């Protein structure tokens, strides 16, 4: 084992970590969820998928990536009517992730990237990235892995709504771990749909609205997993991994400029917010 090629953050010793800092690897924090995914997918779906993408990206680009241990829990109260779902309050999730990014920044890593696998964590990782930028000398950004594969997926996509336990996620799971997919249980779901919003408004709706899922589904599926195949999953996986490595490369080269202050007088920079 050559520690310089190790991409799993927590496999390193503190001595080897000094090398990783010197190499200015980009530190990835995968954020997932433990949450109902319909009758055919396990609760771990979001955490498993995002971790798989990050790990493969790390394996392929081990000189520029370090992958932190996955956050397996996220914002999920709206799924609570489905057994097993674990909910983390948004403020707690943000604070937990921010402690991690601050620690990473403290040690001298300048580029951090949250890689998200759970839709409802979206506003949270956005805020973690913002807060890290404001609180440290490092830069932090956030990306949902599925957004990096959506373009490629469109080439093979058969059903329209991509939301949760759908053609997209089921295909990816079938490619990565078919033995854990209860394929025979897969059924199309459907939420209440309007013109400007739906009961679990996906990002193409202008209005943000997420109702309790117990109000509109008894299966917990949003989208249609019945057309999922491992082949589609393969397309998704490789597009996501390739996209993530591309983002990492761009991120590594990103400048960290000096702030230019537009005040003519002095500012009170010691204020604690």
Judged by CB under 8 A, the chain residues 241 through 270 that form the site for a copy of itself are 243, 246-247, 250-251, 254-269
Closest approach of a copy of itself to the CB of residue 230, in Å: 18
Minimum separation from the CB atom of position 159 to a copy of itself (A): 21
Binding mask 146-165 for a copy of itself (x = CB under 8 A): -xx-----------------
The count of residues interacting with a copy of itself (CB under 8 A) is 131
Q: Does position 91 bind a copy of itself by CB under 8 A?
A: yes
Q: Does 25 bind a copy of itself (CB under 8 A)?
A: no
DSSP annotation string for 17-31: HHHHHHTTPEEEEEE
Non-local CB neighbours of 75 within 8 Å, separated by 6+ positions = 33, 87, 88, 89, 90, 93, 118, 120, 121, 124
Nearer to a copy of itself, 231 or 256 (CB): 256
**Residue list 108-147, contact with a copy of itself (CB under 8 A):** 108, 120, 122-127, 129-131, 133-144, 147
Using CB under 8 A, pick the residue from 26, 88, 162, 235 that binds a copy of itself. Answer: 88
Between CA 245 and CA 243 the distance in angstroms is 5
**Count of other CB atoms within 10 angstroms of residue 231:** 12
Rounded least distance, CB 101 to a copy of itself, Å: 10
Answer whether 114's CB lies under 8 Å from 141's CB. Answer: yes
Tell me: does residue 188 bind a copy of itself (CB under 8 A).
Answer: no
Rounded to an integer, what distance in angstroms lies between the CA atom of residue 137 and that of residue 135?
7
Judge contact between 55 and 140, C-beta under 8 A: no
Q: Indicate the length of the chain as a whole number.
A: 273
Structure tokens at 101: 């990014």
């Amino acid at each position: 084992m050559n520690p310089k090629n190790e991409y799993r953050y927590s496999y390193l010793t503190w001595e080897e970590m000094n090398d990783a800092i010197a190499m200015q690897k980009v530190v990835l924090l995968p954020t997932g969820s433990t949450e109902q995914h319909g009758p055919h997918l396990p609760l771990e779906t979001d955490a498993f998928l995002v971790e798989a993408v990050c790990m493969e990206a790390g394996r392929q680009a081990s000189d520029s990536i370090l992958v932190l241990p996955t956050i397996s829990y996220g914002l999920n109260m709206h799924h609570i009517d489905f057994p097993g779902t674990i909910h983390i309050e948004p403020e707690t999730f943000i604070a937990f992730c921010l402690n991690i990014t601050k620690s990473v920044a403290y040690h001298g890593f300048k580029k951090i990237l949250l890689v998200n696998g759970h839709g409802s964590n979206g506003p949270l990782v956005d805020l973690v990235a913002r807060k890290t930028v404001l609180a440290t000398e490092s830069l932090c950004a956030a990306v949902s892995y599925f957004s990096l594969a959506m373009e490629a997926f469109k080439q093979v996509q058969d059903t329209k709504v991509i939301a949760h336990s759908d053609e997209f996620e089921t295909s990816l799971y079938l490619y990565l771990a078919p033995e854990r997919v209860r394929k025979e249980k897969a059924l199309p779901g459907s939420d209440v749909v309007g013109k400007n919003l739906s009961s679990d408004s996906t990002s193409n709706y202008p209005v943000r609205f997420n109702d309790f899922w117990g109000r509109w589904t008894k299966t917990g599926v949003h989208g249609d997993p019945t057309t999922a195949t491992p082949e589609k999953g393969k397309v998704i996986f490789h597009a996501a991994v390739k996209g993530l490595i591309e983002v990492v490369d761009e991120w590594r080269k990103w400048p960290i400029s000096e702030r230019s202050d537009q005040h003519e007088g002095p500012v009170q920079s010691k204020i604690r917010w």
